[in-house]
Structures are given as C-alpha cells and as structure tokens.
Amino acid sequence: MDKFNNNFSENISFPLKDKRWMIYILAIMAILVSLFFPSILFHNTFQNSPSIKKVYIAANNSEALKEIIKEFNEKNKGKIEVELVDFNYEKFSTNKKKELITRTMRSMNGKIDIFSIDQIWVPRIAKWSENLSEYFTDDDLSKLIKPALETSIYNGTLCSIPLFLDLGIMYYRKDLISKIDNYKNFEKRLSQGITWKELLNVSKQLNSKYSYVFQGKNYEGLICNFFEFVGEDLISNNANPFRSFNDSKIISKLMFMKNLIKNKVVPKEVLNFEEASSFRYAIKNDIPFFRGWSTIYKLVKISDEDTSKIKYLGIARLPKFESEKSVSTIGGWNLMVSKYSNVKKEAVKFIKFTMSREAQKILYTKGEYLPVIKSIYSDSLFISKHPRLKFYSALLKKIVRRPFIENYTRLSDILAFYIHASLANQLKAKDALLNAQIDINKSIKNQY
C-alpha cells in the first residue's frame, strides 16, 4: 500500500509544485461543474418528480408511433411522459415478440405499462390485461370500425384497444408489367382481383426468372398466406377451422402452393422468407407480383440502389381461384394495458389519444397503417389526398379472420410446421394436413 501511495505521490508531485498548474486545473474543474452539474441535477429532479407519471410502452419504434408519442408528451408536459421500449420490427419477429410479452406477464412484472400486441394474441394474453370497460364508454367504442373493435373483446371483456389494421395485398411492378399486351386493361382488372390462371398466363410474357413471392417460413406469416390461398368459404364460416383441415379442398390448395415452388413460379427461397426478407428479395430481383402487408413498403429498409423501384409499386387484391373470391387476411396491432401497471389511468389516456383523428392520420400518412376509426374513412378531403384508403376500405369487406381462440398460437404453430414441411417437399400435402390434424386434435383434447 505504501509503495502504491509513494508511486501515486511521485506521479503527481511535479505538476503540483507549480502553482500555475494548480490554478489551471481548478479553473477547468470549476467550468466543468458549472456546465454539467445543473443539468444532471435537473435531469434527476425531472426523473424523480412525483408530479410526472412515466408510462412505458413496448412496441415497434416506427416513425408514426414516435411522432404520436411526441405529440402526446407535448400536450401533457409536466404531467405524463410516455417512453418507448423498442420492439423493433426487424430485430424481433412476431413469434419472438409473443414469447417476450408472455414471459414478462407471467413474471407479474409491472415495469411495462402498455404492450403493443398482435390482435390474434388477445385471447391468450387477456388474463394479464386490465379490463378496459370502466375506462371506455359506449360512445368511445362506437367510433371504431367493426373489424377493429371485434379484435379487442374476448369473453365479453374489453381487453385491448386497436391501434391500426393491416391487410394482405398483392404488390405489382408497373414498370415490369407495362410490357405485356393490353397492359392498361390488365391493370384495371388487377384492382378487381385476377385469377391465378391469369397471373400465370401474363407471367409468360414477362422476362422474369420468377413471377411471384410469398412468405413461406415456419412462422405465423405462413398461416396468413395459407388462409388466403384456402379462401373465405373454408375459414370465415367456421368458428374453429382447426377442427377440419384434413379436407380435400384444402389439400388441393396446399398442393397448388407446392407446385408454385416446384414449377419455379416462386423461388425456393420463400421457405425462409418473412415479411421483410420477401419484400427485399422481390424488389431486388424484379419480381413482377408479390404478396405483402399493406404497411410493409414503409416499414422495411432497402438498399439505396433499389429505392428507385419503389415508385413503380402498385397494389391490388390477391389472386383468386376460378369461381372464388379474392380475400385478404386481416392483421393489425392492439394496445393492452398490463394489469400490473401502476399508472393505468395515464396509460389509458395515451391509448385514447391514439384513437384520435390526429393520431390516426399520423399513423396512416407516416406508415400506411390502416385507421381503426370510422371518421377517417368518411373524410372526403383526407381520402382525396390519400386515394389508396378507398381501396383498403373496399378490401375490408372481404377479409379472412384467423380463429379468435385462446389456444390459437399453439395450434397455429402446429399447422405452420406441417405446411412448411410440405412446401419443403418433406411431406405430401395430404400427409402434412393429416398429421397436422392429428396433432391439433391431441392438443385440443389435452387442453380440457
């Protein structure tokens, strides 16, 4: 220890012998303290001020949501401050977010006050959510469009409030398909929904290696794609279609998906594609038609060399089979208040702000997140500036819903596993769906 002290003294003895050095050092320290100490003090006072309620929300850090949070914080300055805990869209897959949220809620952790959740998780996560019925009046809820409100109620309880909706659509490249015969007439038909037969015939006129891309990875997005291929009659009219997937019509639709890969209409890479990766691939490789969510082109970052292609993107209904209707899977995200939160009233106040016309317009203009309130769809001035909303409004009338049941995610995981195995040519379509049905039935039986 003495040796250490001696060395330390030797190291500082030279400059301290000179009084000018001492004055210089003290002056610098005084300046630093005067500059930084007040800000540190005020920062700590702000953080610990009992008058300011902190509300933490776990969600994707989209530009739209950040703008809404900024507006809310300015309106409630000195009273409430919302802070975003980033569940980044590309860092966390939908399935990963689900795992993180359920793990957090099981631990009865009250550090996160609001969770942004996939609407299909509502039945599973309802037990951890605050009952919002006492905070929202019938008048409040009447402002919501029916497809959005239906995703918020489970077993008669208002478990969450919709933030935005999303729809499965087909993107197409105007610059690529402009080379086909009767292009203008074909583009007009696209908005009404073309058949798979038409799409395949048109593709023969194009100089593209592949004609179409969808999301085929073993995850929830594959189920959304599969439901769109299957169509409305086999899904919408059955409260729990998981009881009847071993069906000849459904088997034929899975065989069709397999043949798209086998016949190289679709690249085999789709077996590893989620939303972002499929979008990047389609843009980079000049795919004329591809499936995606309505929000995807504003969410995904692409390389600088491909950004110029975005302006050529058109949107259309998804392809349909002969004598069937085109349908879109409805998606979207809701806001749920944790039952373990200590700032429930403040959290609800923020959620009510997200329902406002101001916030809903920010969501659409910055991210093309579909509004959940009626008044936006009847705002003729806003629609004239954003004509795509008219298309989306029509699309909302032809949607396919995933089953709104508590064990949905477990059954969905089973189905996704077998569909993916079949697409990867590990199982025949019939065997894949038969095995899926057997495992699903076991899972349902074990639940009771």
C-alpha distance from residue 379 to each of 23, 36, 57, 161, 385 (Å): 69, 50, 30, 22, 10
237-244 long-range contacts (CB < 8 A, ≥24 apart) are: 239/403, 240/403, 240/405, 241/403, 242/403, 242/411, 242/415, 242/440, 242/444, 243/440, 243/441, 243/444
CA geometry: angle 18, 21, 26, nearest 5 deg: 135
Q: Which conformational region is residue 151 in: left (phi greater than 0), alpha (psi within -120 to 50 degrees), or beta? A: alpha
Q: What is the pLDDT of residue 46?
A: 33
The type of residue at 153 is I
Q: What is the pLDDT of residue 103?
A: 77
**What letter does residue 265 receive in the DSSP assignment?**
S
pTM for the full predicted model: 0.84
- Stated as kind and residue range, the H or E segment containing 25 is helix 19-48
C-alpha 30: how far from chain center: 51
**CA–CA distance, 269 with 12 (Å, rounded to integer):** 65
Domains identified in the chain and CATH numbers: 53-165+335-390 (3.40.190.10), 166-330+403-447 (3.40.190.10)
- Stated as kind and residue range, the H or E segment containing 57 is strand 53-59
Averaged pLDDT in 10-residue chunks for the chain of 448 residues: 39 42 48 37 42 94 95 98 82 68 75 93 93 97 97 96 98 95 91 94 93 97 95 60 79 97 98 96 98 91 90 97 93 96 98 98 96 97 96 92 89 96 98 95 82
**CA–CA distance, 206 with 178 (Å, rounded to integer):** 10
Q: What is the pLDDT of residue 11?
A: 40
Identify which of 164, 173, 248, 162 has the alpha carbon closest to the alpha carbon of residue 212. 173
